[in-house]
Amino acid sequence: MSGALPLAGRHALVTGAARGIGAAIARRLAADGATLTLLGRHEDTLQALARELPGVAQARTLVCDVADAASVARAWQALEAAGADVHVLVNNAGQAASAPLVKTTDELWQRMLAVNLTGTFNCCRAALPAMLRGGWGRIVNVASTAGQRGYAYVGAYAAAKHGVIGLTRSLALEVGSKGVTVNAVCPGFTETDLLTDSIAKVVATTGRDAEAARREFTRHNPQGRLVRPQEVADAVAWLCTAGAGSVNGQSLSISGGEVM
């Protein structure tokens, strides 16, 4: 692809794009010249982000539940009808919930698998045919350090994210000779609304103040701080470039050295 920007002429789809890491990734890919499709469950928040992006006329929004295969199929049908093949797929949509294993309900277990793992599978399956036809593609799955090492009280979430890493590795082997790379990024605890909710839950259940609860999350990072969403977005953007063409099947830990 010609052009000064590394993703000029590429169409990138980001799931869970409305806020947090997903929004940071969308902004970065747009700045790198990509045409964006923003996928999420709430049209109003997707539209608000689309209005912020450069070249707003090229930012498409689609309401979709990635855990629902039929919903994903409808989203890709809309893209195909518009002649918009996906060159870059970033599977960012996810949820986190905590509970001791003996108190983990069937509903919580299934929800963690559905959103974090099945949603990634559904979107990979939908995006791959066009990538394989075109002989070029980038898939980046947003996993977690919980998928690299595990944490207590988040067994369902950690199992789902381990599954994302396994899927990433297997798919990378399957399509590596066909111009498509598949990688994962694994953020540590990141400064997002999701983490704010987790801190509030710790405060409510333990009686600690918010600052003490926050220290519980930062202590895992050898740098003693939370990861910034932009740092995750920068790593994703690099994996989407031609320069990362030999990087395949990797799980890049973005955690200040928590996982080595």
Let me know if residue 3 belongs to a domain.
no
Residues 14, 37 contacting (CB under 8 angstroms): yes
Q: State whether 146 and 69 are in the same domain.
A: yes
Same domain, 143 and 248: yes
Establish if 5 belongs to a structural domain: no
Q: Are residues 215 and 244 in the same domain?
A: no
| Domain presence at residue 16 | yes
Q: Which of 157, 181, 187, 239 is catalytic?
A: 157
Whether residue 180 sits in one domain with residue 131: yes
Shared-domain flag, residues 133 and 85? yes
What string of pLDDT tens digits covers the 260 residues of the chain?
445 899 999 999 999 999 999 999 999 999 999 999 999 999 999 999 999 998 765 799 999 999 999 999 999 999 999 999 999 999 999 999 999 999 999 999 999 999 999 999 999 999 999 999 999 999 999 999 999 999 999 999 999 999 999 999 999 999 999 999 999 999 999 998 777 777 777 778 788 888 888 888 899 899 999 999 999 999 999 999 999 999 999 999 999 999 99
Does residue 259 sit within a domain?
no
Write down the pLDDT at residue 215: 86
Q: Whole-prediction pTM value?
A: 0.94
Residues 151 and 75 in one domain: yes
Pair (88, 168) in one structural domain: yes
- At residue 142, the pLDDT reads 98
Distance CA 173, CA 181 (A): 9
SS3 labels along the chain:
CCCCCCCCCCEEEEECCCCHHHHHHHHHHHHCCCEEEEEECCHHHHHHHHHHCCCHHHCEEEECCCCCHHHHHHHHHHHHHCCCCCCEEEECCCCCCCECHHHCCHHHHHHHHHHHHHHHHHHHHHHHHHHHHHCCEEEEEECCHHHCCCCCCEHHHHHHHHHHHHHHHHHHHHHHHHCEEEEEEEECCECCHHHHHHHHHHHHHHCCCHHHHHHHHHCCCCCCCCECHHHHHHHHHHHCCHHHCCCCCCEEEECCCCCC
Q: Does 194 share its domain with 130?
A: no
Verify that 210 and 118 share a domain, yes or no: no
For residue 260, is it within any domain?
Answer: no
Residue 240 is predicted with a pLDDT of: 98
Is residue 209, in this structure, part of any structural domain at all? yes
Q: Tell me if 4 is assigned to some domain.
A: no
Do 118 and 25 lie in a common domain? yes
If asked whether residues 115 and 236 sit together in one domain, one would say yes
Q: Does the annotation count 157 as an active-site position? A: yes
Q: Within this chain, do residues 210 and 97 fall inside the same structural domain, yes or no?
A: no
Domain count of the fold of the chain: 2
CA-to-CA separations, 72 to 40, 75, 118, 215, in angstroms, rounded: 11, 5, 11, 38
CATH assignment at residue 99: 3.40.50.720
Please check whether residue 247 lies inside any domain of the structure. Answer: yes
Range of the domain at 219: 190-226
pLDDT at 116: 98
